[in-house]
Structure 1
Amino acid sequence: MIYSELNADDLRGCTIADYLISIEASFQVVDRSAVIYAEDCFPVAELARELGRWIASGEGAAGDFSFESLSFEDPGAVQISRAEPGWQVGSIFEPTTTSAPQSWAELEDRVGDFISNVRRDVLGLGIDPHFIGPG
């Protein structure tokens, strides 16, 4: 999961929901060199928060992840599902394309990096990233 051009240009309020949906970036799910899913103006802060909550449950307790965003009508803009021999990342918007399976440890590292990067870059905008959750 990578992003660029993080911004809070549409931020108008001061509630957690305002921050979650207004901190956006150009976002991609990439597997090696293949783009699985791409979206401009994607709510990366909200995704980081939800992924952090999901990954914290641990592999044994984790069910499939389906991103339920305040910005999308339907859940699943980003999906992570159990697949042999590991976990695959995909999107309801690109249903025929998923990443290669990866281990929980690899997934945990990638999700952790994404969350850390979002927290760092939100702080760089002059916004306290506490609403995202632990880093």
Structure 2
Amino acid sequence: MTLKLAYENVGAPDLYRRGLRPETAPLGVLLVDIEADLVIRDGDQVVMAEGLFPVAELARALVGWLDGDRDDFDFDSMSCAESGEVRIVGSAEGWRVGSVSAPGLWTSPVGWDVLVAEIAQFVKAVRKDVMALGVEPGLIPVLAKLADDPAEVRAAAQAAFDAPEGIGTIASYWTEVPLPATGTWNVPGKGGAQADVVLTAP
């Protein structure tokens, strides 16, 4: 099985409702208000899915965990009623990811290098989206303690950071783009074909 921490539809709608801006909002508010739809997968199996999840706060907590003592991880969020909405537990077989909201569901055990690489990829994506919202990327610190890890762990984390962006998330596509069978590109005529997905190359 393949561990995957994924999210989409990132935004901060509550921030604007509070009358605040990403550039000037306090740290605690930003961590709670930057949200997305989070999914933790083990191959095709969904282990945890939660809408409007504080992904920036999770990314920051994961960096702190990797830079700390690395005991079992229980996400203690300011916006979750119970600790452990995301949990990472180690055993002789490897590391598993789950949630207190679904106590019977866990990912298959993976090695430390696989876990670190997936966390690094997740943190990289969240930092990028935080910057796109106008927030300083320092909201989510860079991974620092990996220098003390074995070479294979450092290589896996570096590969995750160096991986190409790909074609983006499904949510990033424009859909139903008019193709002007009649009319022009800007003013398509009636009955023109519609494209489900349009990809543009640089």
Match for 2:128: what amino acid? R
What is the match of residue 44 of structure 2?
33
Aligned partners of 1:46 and 1:69 also within 8 Å:
yes
**Structure 1 residue 91 displacement after superposition:** 0.2
Out of 47, 58, 61, the residue aligned to residue 47 of structure 1 is 58
What is the match of residue 82 of structure 1?
90
CA–CA distance in structure 2, aligned partners of residues 56 and 31 of structure 1: 25
What is the match of residue 28 of structure 2?
17
Out of 3, 10, 14, the residue aligned to residue 7 of structure 2 is 3
SS where residue 74 of structure 1 aligns?
A: coil
TM-score (norm 2): 0.63
Query: How many residues in Structure 1 have an aligned counterpart in Structure 2?
Result: 132
Please tell me the root mean square deviation across aligned C-alpha atoms, in Å.
1.1
CA–CA distance in structure 2, aligned partners of residues 124 and 16 of structure 1: 17
CA–CA distance in structure 1, aligned partners of residues 83 and 28 of structure 2: 17
Give CA-to-partner distance per residue, 1:91-129, whole Å, 9 cap, x none. 000000000000111000000100000000111112212
SS where residue 63 of structure 2 aligns?
A: helix
Q: Which structure carries more relative contact order (alpha carbon 8 Å, separation 6+)? A: 1
Unaligned 5+ segments in structure 1 are none
Unaligned 5+ segments in structure 2 are 144-202
What is the match of residue 135 of structure 2?
127
Out of 101, 112, 121, the residue aligned to residue 109 of structure 2 is 101
SS where residue 117 of structure 2 aligns?
A: helix
Which stretch has the larger CA shift, 9-18 or 101-110? 9-18
CA–CA distance in structure 1, aligned partners of residues 107 and 92 of structure 2: 12
**Structure 1 residue 130 displacement after superposition:** 1.0
**Structure 1 residue 9 displacement after superposition:** 1.1
Larger radius of gyration: 2
Match for 2:82: what amino acid? D
Aligned partners of 1:6 and 1:24 also within 8 Å:
yes
**Structure 1 residue 133 displacement after superposition:** 1.2
